[in-house]
Amino acid sequence: MTVSDIHGGTAAPFEKTDEKAVSVLVAEDDPMFRAMLTMWLGRWGYYPLITTTGTQAWEILEAPGAPKLAIFDWMMPGMDGPELCRRLRSRGASHYTYVLLLTAKTDKHDLVAGLQAGADDFLTKPFDANELQARLRAGRRILQLQENLIAAQDHLRFQATHDPLTGIWNRAGILDFLNRELSRISRVPHALSVMMADIDHFKGINDTYGHEIGDVVLCDVAKRLQGAVRAYDAAGRHGGEEFLIISPELDAKGLPNFAERLRTRIAGTPVFTSAGPIRVTVSIGASALNDNESGMITADALLRAADTALYKAKAEGRNCVRLAATRAAVPVLQTQAKTAGA
């Protein structure tokens, strides 16, 4: 059941007519209070989503796009307000739902029980419209603070795992991706390929055009690599002018063509800079772990194998791909024909 499944006299379709409106889930079985809440919320610019049972409210809360503001009556058919709060707080949702509990109870022990169940605030029936509006505004402020905190956390997380110049994974982030893939392989065996791509003669670019142009080249190469890999691959800056590409489900058979496609993506067109077009090429060293070798290799061994292959590509003229195979956790370099255009 989705939010839009609730229709008729007990609910309204979940469709915002005003992009600035804030949806409020109302679970209230009393017709008089339900009518009052619908009228007031509409006047204040809220979009009320009305239900008559706790069970119905829970189905809406479980659906995608559920409101973050909720008003629950304490006593309802199917599931009461405190039980709704308990379920809501125990599910571990990524976003917070602010709950205002309506009740005719005035005993302190009941109010404490409601708060312990997970309610954020109380309003005692019969309630004043101005007080309800003020409490909803307080709830919106709390939700806004949470959104700001989540955004700040996401920003810090991104900064910790991404290269500030190119915007792709940094060394720590890409190595963490590799280790997570190897951990997944130990549970579900599958192939995995690792490629190291190094910009050829990058020092000469910096010396000739300056570091600002060198940064433009780095960003362009990163963008091309990112655009050439698959959605479930990962590309990161391993350090300096060296990039690391991790490709799950790519075995030794498919690796040569894949790596060659990355090489030609870089060499195919020059990088256009304020100093003019600059022809840029990369050398690529790659290693593959086939699905029958899972659990037999470490991240360090895969990286060493790719690095050894990269060194061979550099030694044999650059702008080419060289492969290294891994067998029983021992990297063994394979001799490859030099790529055309090297």
With H, G, I as helix, E, B as strand and everything else as coil, classify residue 161. helix
Query: Residue 188's pLDDT band (boundaries 50, 70, 90)?
Result: confident
- Output the six-digit token pair for 173: 């982030």
pLDDT attached to residue 100: 92
CATH 3.30.70.270 domain locations along the chain: 171-333
Q: Please list, in sequence order, all residues whose beta carbon lies within 8 angstroms of the beta carbon of residue 118, skipping any fewer than 6 positions away.
A: 82, 85, 86, 88, 89, 99
Of 28, 181, 241, 242, the active-site residue reads 241
Phi and psi, residue 334, nearest 5°: -100, 140
Tell me the C-alpha distance between 325 and 334, whole Å. Answer: 6
Query: Residue 338's pLDDT band (boundaries 50, 70, 90)?
Result: very low
The pLDDT tens digits of the residues spanning 219-230 come to 999 999 999 999
Task: Give the 3-state secondary structure percentages of the chain, helix then strand then coil, rounded to 5.
Answer: 45, 20, 30
pLDDT at 342 > cutoff 80: no
The pLDDT tens digits of the residues spanning 282-307 come to 999 999 987 666 556 789 999 999 99
pLDDT at 280 > cutoff 80: yes
Task: Please give the average per-residue pLDDT across 191-201, as a whole number.
Answer: 96
Q: Are 218 and 167 in contact (CB under 8 A)?
A: no
For domain 171-333, give the fold.
Answer: Alpha-Beta Plaits (3.30.70)
Tell me the C-alpha distance between 257 and 173, whole Å. Answer: 26
Q: How many CB atoms lie within 10 A of CB 148?
A: 10
pLDDT attached to residue 20: 53
- How far from each other are the two terminal CA atoms of the chain, in whole angstroms? 59
Q: Are 133 and 39 in contact (CB under 8 A)?
A: no
CATH 3.40.50.2300 domain locations along the chain: 3-159
β-strand partners of 331: 326
The pLDDT tens digits of the residues spanning 99-121 come to 999 887 767 777 788 788 888 98
Tell me the C-alpha distance between 144 and 142, whole Å. Answer: 5
Query: Residue 218's pLDDT band (boundaries 50, 70, 90)?
Result: very high
pLDDT attached to residue 287: 94
Query: Residue 2's pLDDT band (boundaries 50, 70, 90)?
Result: very low
With H, G, I as helix, E, B as strand and everything else as coil, classify residue 316. coil
Respond yes or no: is residue 241 known to be catalytic: yes
For domain 3-159, give the fold.
Answer: Rossmann fold (3.40.50)
Q: Are 205 and 271 in contact (CB under 8 A)?
A: no
pLDDT attached to residue 76: 87
Report the largest interatomic distance among the alpha carbons of the chain, rounded to a whole angstrom: 85
Q: Are 245 and 197 in contact (CB under 8 A)?
A: yes
pLDDT at 267 > cutoff 90: yes
Look over the chain and give the mean of its residue pLDDT values, rounded to a whole number.
85
Is the pLDDT higher at 209 or at 64?
209
pTM: 0.64
Tell me the C-alpha distance between 205 and 278, whole Å. Answer: 9
Q: How many CB atoms lie within 10 A of CB 248?
A: 18
pLDDT attached to residue 108: 75
